């Protein structure tokens, strides 16, 4: 009887290298920590078996092969011993360097940008996310076209034998990529229009938006699940989630009940140092949720040895997205459960004395009550300090608008009159605008309408 042959695909044997320029390096990170992050990125890529890792010291990059002759030979020996099939270089590698290194070592090679793009391509789930990753990947590939086969070149242009060189294979490939990118952009435009409609619909809802941002693997999705009761995928892995998720929740009131402020909580893609520019541009539409937020929760892994450097990277990306410095924000020092008891107690004392800082553990729930109270207090400062008194009159049958106003918590009292319900309100300009958008009464009334009569099925401001 013939033996059964396994059809299971074997994992790719990968070797991670972090090039370190020593004193000449401009990175804020220690090379060991950068290597650890690169290894975590490698583990985030499916079908990878890590067989080795190292920090490769460089005096200066070689323009042709990145590494010098001696270092090339050393690494080549280790790759051969480990039987590596894929080399992941934690840094930028030019197309010429990539081609030469692959030829020198006999392996496939990815630089940091290529690795992150591979992870994003595997994790994207929504239509918009898939299109954005494809567009970013094509933009990256367009710069990697290296002239390798001159026999694919059209040797002559025009007629006869006197014409100049015709179109090269590289130019044909570049044109094909440009055409595909154009198609993707058109598809994205349609998807973005749908997202814009969703955002316009949310603008009609009187609830403030609170966006979670932070370095990848800081615990945003775990915190999101803890606060909303959702089941968003959360794992100790870089870029565990890519597509944004939004949930409406109600904060507890002062007595711990369920009649507090209602908010929309948004979980966004995690950031990382040296995020490829192609991805920053491609995911700008997704990250516009951050620009629309009334309050930003910057979730930090406070147990990480380079938490300050990670916070600086997040700040730089938010700045590149156009987020204003004066947007209301709270720093959430997450993962205090990973610290010792004394350190954890010290952080809790610090957050009690520091405005805009909350130390929590999304995993155990420690400190979440204080965080929720801080969110409610900060939103109160942002949204509620400029309330104005107003009155509206609406039809008795317009229960939909009446329910909206009561749900928003802006009704002080209501009276019954011959012309309908008269509601005495105390609301912000934002809430008034949201109500007008919800009710469809933002436009000017017709001239035939009597100013002191409610519109049919609608409302009008009382005199």
Q: How many CB atoms lie within 10 A of CB 158?
A: 9
Q: How far is CA 54 from CA 38, 86, 237, in A?
A: 10, 14, 21
What's the pLDDT score for residue 300? 94
Rounded to whole angstroms, the Cα distance separating 229 from 312 reads 30
What is the Cα–Cα distance from 146 to 174, expressed in whole angstroms?
11
**What average pLDDT does this structure show over 322-341?**
86
pLDDT band at 258 (very low <50, low <70, confident <90, very high): low
Q: Are 13 and 86 in contact (CB under 8 A)?
A: yes
Q: Are 401 and 394 in contact (CB under 8 A)?
A: yes
Say what the pLDDT of residue 288 is.
65
- Ranked by mean pLDDT, the top range of 89-103, 202-216, 315-329, 373-387 is 89-103
Residue 54 is predicted with a pLDDT of 92
34 confidence band (pLDDT: 50, 70, 90): confident
Rounded CA-CA distance 155/153 in Å is 6
The pLDDT of 136-161, averaged and rounded, is 58
| pLDDT on residue 128 | 72
CA atoms of 178 and 129, how far apart (whole Å): 20
Assign 277 to helix, strand or coil: helix
Rounded-to-integer distance, Cα 45 and Cα 278, Å:
19
Helix (H) or strand (E) holding 262: strand 262-267
β 12-20/86-89 pair status: parallel
Say yes or no to pLDDT of 182 above 60: yes
C-beta separation of 285 from 192 below 8 A: yes
3-state secondary structure of 327: coil
Average pLDDT on 310-319 reads 86
Closest CA to 435 of 447, 423, 446: 423
Least confident of 65-69, 128-132, 279-283: 279-283
Report whether pLDDT(87) > 90: yes
pLDDT of 61 higher than 70: yes
Average pLDDT rounded to a whole number, residues 66-88 = 93
Are 239 and 186 in contact by the 8 Å Cβ rule? The answer is: no
pLDDT at 55: 92
Structure confidence at residue 290 as a pLDDT band (50, 70, 90): confident
CA–CA distance, 255 with 222 (Å, rounded to integer): 26
DSSP code per residue over 102-140 = HHHHTSEEEEHHHHHHHHHHHH--SHHHHHHHHHHHHHH
Quick check: 46 pLDDT over 70? Answer: yes
Share of the chain above pLDDT 70, in %: 73
- Residues 161, 185: Cα–Cα separation, whole Å: 41
Identify any residues that bridge with 265 across adjacent strands, giving them in sequence order: 210, 247
3-class secondary structure, 452:
coil
- Are 212 and 297 a contacting pair, CB within 8 Å? yes
Summarised one tens digit per residue, pLDDT across range 378-387 is 888 877 656 7
Residues 6 or more apart in contact with residue 422 via CB below 8 angstroms: 391, 392, 393, 414, 415, 416, 462
Identify the DSSP state of 159.
Answer: S
Q: What is the mean pLDDT of the chain?
A: 77
Higher-pLDDT residue of 9 and 42 is 42
Angstrom distance (rounded) from CA 203 to CA 242? 24
Stretch among 121-125, 327-331, 395-399 having the lowest mean pLDDT: 121-125
Spatial separation of the C-alpha atoms in residues 348 and 354, rounded to whole Å: 10
pLDDT one-digit tens code per residue, 401-456: 888 888 777 888 888 887 788 888 888 777 787 788 777 664 443 444 433 333 33
Summarize the confidence of residues 13-30 as an average pLDDT: 76
Return the pLDDT at 283. 60
Tell me the pLDDT band of 240, cut-offs 50, 70 and 90: low
From the list 378, 44, 428, 379, the residue with the least C-alpha distance to 241 is 44
What distance in Å separates the CA atoms of residue 350 and residue 302, rounded to the nearest whole number?
13
pLDDT above 70 (res 256): no
Nearest to 307 by CA among 374, 357, 341: 357
Query: Is the pLDDT at 360 greater than 70, yes or no?
Result: yes
Number of helical H runs and strand E runs in the chain: 14, 14
Q: What is the pLDDT of residue 78?
A: 94
What is the pLDDT, as a whole number, of residue 83?
92
CB crowding 64-103: b at 16 or more within 10 Å, else e? ebbbeeebbeebbeebeeeebbbbbbbbebbeebbbbbee
- Structural tokens at position 67: 């590494």
Strand 329-334 to 357-359 pairing: parallel
């Amino acid at each position: 009887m013939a033996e059964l042959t396994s059809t299971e695909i074997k994992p790719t044997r990968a070797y991670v290298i972090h090039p370190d320029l020593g004193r000449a390096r401009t990175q804020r990170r220690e090379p060991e920590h950068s290597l650890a992050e690169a290894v975590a990125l490698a583990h985030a890529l499916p079908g990878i078996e890590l067989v080795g890792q190292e920090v490769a010291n460089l005096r200066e990059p070689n323009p042709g092969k990145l590494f010098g002759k001696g270092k090339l030979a050393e690494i080549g020996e280790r790759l051969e011993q480990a039987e590596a099939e894929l080399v992941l270089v934690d840094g930028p590698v030019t197309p010429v360097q990539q081609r030469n290194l692959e030829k020198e070592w006999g392996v496939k090679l990815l630089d940091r940008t290529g690795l992150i793009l591979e992870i994003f391509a595997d994790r994207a789930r929504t239509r918009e996310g898939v299109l954005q990753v494809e567009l970013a990947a094509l933009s990256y590939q367009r710069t990697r076209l290296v002239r390798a086969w001159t026999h694919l070149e059209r040797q002559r242009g025009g007629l006869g034998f006197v014409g100049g060189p015709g179109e090269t294979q590289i130019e044909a490939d570049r044109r094909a990529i440009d055409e595909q990118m154009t198609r993707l952009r058109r598809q994205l435009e349609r998807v973005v229009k749908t997202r814009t409609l969703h955002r316009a619909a949310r603008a009609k809802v009187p609830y403030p938006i609170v966006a979670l941002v932070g370095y990848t693997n800081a615990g945003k999705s775990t915190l999101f699940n803890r606060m909303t009761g959702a089941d968003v995928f959360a794992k100790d892995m870089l870029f565990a989630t890519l597509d944004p998720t939004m949930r409406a929740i109600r904060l507890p009131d002062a007595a711990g009940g369920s009649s507090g402020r209602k908010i929309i909580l948004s979980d966004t893609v995690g950031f990382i140092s040296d995020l490829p520019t192609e991805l920053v541009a491609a995911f700008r539409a997704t990250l516009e949720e951050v620009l629309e937020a009334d309050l930003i929760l910057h979730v930090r892994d406070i147990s990480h040895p380079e938490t300050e450097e990670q916070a600086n990277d997040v700040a730089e990306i938010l700045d590149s997205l156009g987020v204003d410095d004066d947007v209301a924000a709270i720093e959430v020092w997450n993962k205090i459960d990973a610290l010792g008891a004394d350190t954890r107690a010290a952080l809790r004392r610090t957050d009690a004395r520091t405005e805009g800082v909350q130390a929590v553990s999304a995993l155990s729930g420690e400190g979440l009550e204080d965080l929720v109270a801080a969110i409610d207090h900060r939103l109160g400062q942002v949204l509620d300090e400029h309330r104005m008194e107003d009155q509206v009159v609406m039809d008795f049958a317009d229960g939909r608008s009446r329910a909206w106003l009561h749900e928003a918590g802006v009704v002080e009292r209501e009276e019954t009159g011959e012309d309908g319900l008269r509601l005495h309100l105390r609301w912000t300009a934002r809430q008034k605008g949201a109500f007008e958008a919800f009710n469809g009464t933002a436009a000017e009334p017709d001239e035939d309408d009597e100013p002191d009569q409610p519109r049919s099925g609608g409302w009008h401001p009382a005199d």
